[in-house]
A and B are shown apart, each in its own frame.
Chain A
Amino acid sequence: DVKVTQSSRYLVKRTGEKVFLECVQDMDHENMFWYRQDPGLGLRLIYFSYDVKMKEKGDIPEGYSVSREKKERFSLILESASTNQTSMYLCASSLQVQGAFFGQGTRLTVV
């Protein structure tokens, strides 16, 4: 079974802090994604990566950056956390067309 692991289930951070969300997948997938999920809005793509050191902006990249130094790890960085970044963050990986496999999510609260 594919396993996508996010480093934290719950995080509370202060406004202005730099926040790192880590994601690791164990199936040698090429593509990795970061989404945020908000009620009534579904999932919105922040960034994705289709190879090591490659990244592409999604629909809502503002205020975020990413890092992919190794194939199995994709990190999401909030440079200066703000209260409007309070959300559920979901990492996913995929191998071409078989669909994306998701981690359990990180619920981030910025106070």
Chain B
Amino acid sequence: GEDVEQSLFLSVREGDSSVINCTYTDSSSTYLYWYKQEPGAGLQLLTYIFSNMDMKQDQRLTVLLNKKDKHLSLRIADTQTGDSAIYFCAESMIDYKLSFGAGTTVTVRA
């Protein structure tokens, strides 16, 4: 079965980089995703990476994938107060179901 793990909390100073880590167990994962959830809202798709890639960059976001170690990370450069949210990593298999981690609550302090 699928199992996705993340640390629960991250505190970062405004302007610094944030790195959120995730591990997954299913080696047949096809795509891996990062979602952001702001208070009282649904999940917003931030970015995704295909399992045969090792890096993807999109403006302030960098996704790194180490398929051998089944480790995924999301780096947010120049973290802003608007980046405070819960971040979920998710993996999908061939049938497009998504399996989510418990979420990392990121708090940005001034």
Residue of A nearest to B41 (CB): A104
Number of interface residues of B (CB under 8 A): 25
Majority SS at the chain A contact face:
strand
Q: Report whether B95 and A50 are in contact in the complex, using a CB–CB cutoff of 8 Å.
A: yes
Q: Give the CA-CA distance A95 to B4 in the complex, in Å.
A: 22
Stretch in A38-46, A63-71, A75-83 touching the partner = A38-46
Majority SS at the chain B contact face:
strand
Stretch in B12-20, B53-61, B99-107 touching the partner = B99-107
Number of interface residues of A (CB under 8 A): 26
Q: Mark A12-48, 1 if CB is under 8 A from B, else 0.
A: 0000000000000000000101010000111111001
**Interface residue? A96 (CB, 8 A):** yes
Contacting residues, chain B, for A58 (C-beta < 8 A): 97
Q: Report whether B42 and A104 are in contact in the complex, using a CB–CB cutoff of 8 Å.
A: yes
Given A41-B102, A42-B102, A90 and B43 contact (CB-CB distance below 8 Å): yes
Q: Give the CA-CA distance A105 to B35 in the complex, in Å.
A: 15
Q: Give the CA-CA distance A98 to B92 in the complex, in Å.
A: 10
Contacting residues, chain A, for B8 (C-beta < 8 A): 40
Q: Mark B47-66, 1 if CB is under 8 A from A, else 0.
A: 01010000000000000000
Contacting residues, chain B, for A42 (C-beta < 8 A): 4, 88, 100-103
Contacting residues, chain A, for B97 (C-beta < 8 A): 33, 45, 48, 58
How far is the CB of B4 from the nearest CB of chain A, in Å? Answer: 8
Interface residues in chain B, defined as those with a beta carbon under 8 Å from any beta carbon in chain A:
4, 8, 30-31, 33, 35, 40-45, 48, 50, 88, 92, 95-103
What are some 22 contacts across the A-B interface (CB < 8 A)? A4-B42, A35-B100, A40-B8, A42-B100, A42-B102, A42-B103, A43-B43, A43-B88, A44-B100, A45-B97, A50-B96, A58-B97, A90-B42, A92-B43, A97-B30, A97-B31, A97-B50, A99-B48, A102-B42, A102-B44, A105-B40, A105-B42
